[in-house]
Amino acid sequence: MASLSDSEYHDRSSQAMDALTEYFEDLGDELENDNYDVEYSSGVLTLKLATHGTYVINKQPPNKQIWLSSPFSGPERYDYDQEKKTWFCRHKDESLGTLLSREVSEALETDVVVPIN
Amino acid sequence: MFSLAKQITPRISTLGRLQQPSMKLGRAVGARFYHEKVIDHYENPRNMGSLDKHDPTVGTGLVGAPACGDVMRLQIKVDDDNNIVDVKFKTFGCGSAIASSSYITERVRGMNIEEALKIKNTDIAKELCLPPVKLHCSMLAEDAIKSAIKDFRTKRGGELRSAPASA
């Protein structure tokens, strides 16, 4: 599978990061929890999930990856899979969206479906 | 060759510098500090140095990438019973990366390589109280020991003597 060009990486990662930011901001508005916070700057998304811990999701341009730090499952790296059209971790055999949806749903005890490819 | 990067301020890959309280776009960014355990490893790194990579009993693991900001080289010397009898590291990167690799060399010294393969990045992160953004450093240290063991095994041509039977 051919790897992404720099501009493709830039577009796809920005798309994903923007979608995540918007989703978690909206979720925060719904929850109205003082301990919930979302911040996105310089390619780094920081999501404070109430008392559960902090997610850090960031672009990693040298590797053309998105890096995740989860308070539940720890660090992970995602490559853009052009066949699956999603940010995918071969090591865990699942996409970033799937992991986030599962973990955040469990933590917040509500149905969360993170809309990123 | 790598030199131990004595960086005064920590780095996170492409994110720019983390430092004491700073004003950014008119808003104060919270102060962040290194845990004292990380500072201890940074100032007193354990097992810093190198082993002879041509020695058939030495496995060398090299992980990371300069572009990402962290590179770790971890070397192990293994005896006939597959025990790690010596270990050295050199790391280029932030304080957390240096501490993670220093700490893992302490852990694996004296271990059988099968045991060493079981070390998880979560153990390292917990011990050093790494913040979320630095968990990747602990993952890299786990990668480094696995890489060193893999190199050792490759050199041995897959001919592993079995570990001593436990009493």
For B10-78, give the secondary structure using H, E and C: CECHHHCECCCCEEECCEEECCCCCCHHHHHHHHCCCCECCCCCCCCCEEEEEEEEHHHCEEEEEEEEE
* Interchain contact A2–B (C-beta under 8 A): no
Contacts of B36 (CB under 8 A, 6+ apart): none
Look at residue A28 and tell me if it is in a domain. Answer: yes
| Active-site amino acid positions of B | 68, 137
Look at residue A117 and tell me if it is in a domain. Answer: no
Look at residue A37 and tell me if it is in a domain. Answer: yes
Look at residue A115 and tell me if it is in a domain. Answer: no
Look at residue A109 and tell me if it is in a domain. Answer: no
- Residue pLDDT, tens place only, A55-99: 999 999 999 999 999 999 999 999 999 999 999 999 899 999 999
Cα-flanking dihedrals φ and ψ of residue B132, to 5°? -50, -45
* Interchain contact A71–B (C-beta under 8 A): yes
Taking the model in full, what pTM does it have?
Answer: 0.81
**C-alpha to C-alpha distance for B63 and B123, rounded to whole angstroms:** 19
Residue of B nearest to A48 (CA): B132
Question: Residue B121 is nearest to which of A42, A44, A74, comparing CB atoms?
Answer: A74
* Interchain contact A58–B (C-beta under 8 A): yes
Given a contact cutoff of 8 angstroms between Cβ atoms, the answer to whether B17 and B9 are in contact is: yes
Average pLDDT on B84-104 reads 96
Number of domains in chain A: 1
pLDDT for B158 equals 55
- Residue pLDDT, tens place only, B115-155: 999 999 999 999 999 999 999 999 999 999 999 999 999 99
pLDDT value at B15 more than 50: no
Vertex A78: Cα angle to B37 and B136 (nearest 5): 5
Look at residue A113 and tell me if it is in a domain. Answer: no
Element (H, E) at A68: strand A65-70
Please list every residue in chain A whose beta carbon sits closer than 8 Å to the beta carbon of residue B135: 69, 74-75
Question: Residue A54 is nearest to which of B67, B132, B136, comparing CB atoms?
Answer: B132
Domain with A16, as residue range(s), is: 6-104
Look at residue A1 and tell me if it is in a domain. Answer: no
What ipTM was estimated for this complex?
0.89
Look at residue A110 and tell me if it is in a domain. Answer: no
Length of chain B (residues): 167
CATH number of domain containing A54: 3.30.920.10
pLDDT for B151 equals 97
Number of other CB atoms surrounding residue A69 within 10 Å:
24
pLDDT for B159 equals 52
